[in-house]
Amino acid sequence: MPLAVQMFSEKAALINTIIQTSIGCGLCLGPPIGSLLLPLGGYKCPFILVGSLEFLAFILGIALIPPTDKHPATEPKSKSPHYFQFLGNASTLSVAIPIALLYCTPGIRDTTYSLYFEDVMKLSPANVGFIFITYSVVFLITGTVVGLLVEKGLGSILAIFAQLFAPVVATGFFLPKILPQLESVVWGGILLACNGITLSSAINPGYLIMEKVAIRQGFTNIQQVKPMVATSFSLIMSSGRTFGAFVIGGYINDVIGFNYMCLCYAIMLSVSGLWNVVYLVRCGYARRLYYETN
């Protein structure tokens, strides 16, 4: 995302939408393609194919990615971007930390959901992979829709929705502890689909809001702001995913078990979500917001 935004700074919304759609397509195609390739060439076959395609994409990238301007126009009155100054600002943290906690979901899913479906619901690994398609398909569809809505200025509304809806979804995985009849594949599939809605409603709007935060801090040169924000946003998402995998899905899950881990995560999301929503309302971001293009 940072590279693409730097090359096509006027297309930040479209880039975010394409990335979300591409991720959704990959997540949808992965399980069926992997299931087809395993019988044909064994365990190594999917990795050989993916590695070959990645290498081909690398070669095509060298040929197709246009060169960037080595001496971009600067604005004398603009504050020069300072990566760590931007990340450490209180207003940036009010957006970044809640988004990072939201993006713990993929890390938690990777480390705990498969085991949950296999051990508790007695599903085979192949069937578990196909259940995850509910998340992938919804992420694919809503990612595209969200991108269009963000272009219409509705990004902040979607961001508020994501922050308020995420704790509800996390609590849904705890509910079978007190309502055993909910412990079913259907309930799990519904919650996975809701996870897809939550993440797609947070990623694209989150980048837009952070762009506005950077401009308010004095970083007014859009050609410099966009790659700085894109890089920061990538760091936030990867940090959230890592924290979700190692701390929440790893350590906390081992200590208190899957259901109570989900309740603990729901509490974290409630606190961070309330913080984020209050910040957006108080700072005037809970309204129509549009990408800066010049």
Look up residue 81 and give its DSSP letter.
Answer: P
Nearest of 272, 243, 244 to residue 113 by alpha carbon: 244
Nearest of 200, 171, 189 to residue 266 by alpha carbon: 171
% of the chain residues with pLDDT over 90: 37
> What is the C-alpha separation between 161 and 197, in angstroms, rounded?
10
What ranges do the domains of the chain cover? Answer: 8-69+83-282
Distance spanning both ends of the chain, measured CA to CA = 19
pLDDT at 163: 95
pLDDT at 273: 95
pLDDT at 74 > cutoff 60: no
Q: Classify each residue of 78-105 as buried b or exposed e, where b means 16 or more C-beta atoms within 10 Å of its C-beta.
A: ebebeeeebeebebbebbbbbbbbbbbb
pLDDT at 76: 45
pLDDT at 77 > cutoff 60: no
Q: Which amino acid is at 147?
A: G
Q: 8-69+83-282 adopts what CATH topology?
A: Growth Hormone; Chain: A; (1.20.1250)
> What is the C-alpha separation between 164 and 155, in angstroms, rounded?
14
> What is the C-alpha separation between 20 and 43, in angstroms, rounded?
28
pLDDT at 294: 52
pLDDT at 78: 53
pLDDT at 126: 66
269 touches 277 (CB < 8 A): no
pLDDT at 35: 74
Q: Which amino acid is at 286?
A: A
278 touches 197 (CB < 8 A): no
3-state helix, strand, coil in the chain (%, to 5): 80, 0, 20
pLDDT at 75 > cutoff 70: no
Q: Average pLDDT of the chain?
A: 85
> What is the C-alpha separation between 69 and 48, in angstroms, rounded?
36
> What is the C-alpha separation between 107 and 117, in angstroms, rounded?
16
Residue 75: how many other CB atoms lie within 10 Å: 11
> What is the C-alpha separation between 86 and 236, in angstroms, rounded?
13
% of the chain residues with pLDDT over 70: 93
| Burial bucket for residue 292 (CB in 10 Å: 0-12, 13-18, 19+) | middle
pLDDT at 213 > cutoff 70: yes
pLDDT at 69: 59
Q: pTM higher than 0.85 for the full model?
A: no
187 touches 56 (CB < 8 A): no
For the ranges 39-43, 164-168, 190-194, which has the lowest average pLDDT?
39-43
> What is the C-alpha separation between 46 and 35, in angstroms, rounded?
9
For the ranges 25-39, 104-118, 213-227, 261-275, which has the lowest average pLDDT?
25-39
> What is the C-alpha separation between 156 and 285, in angstroms, rounded?
6
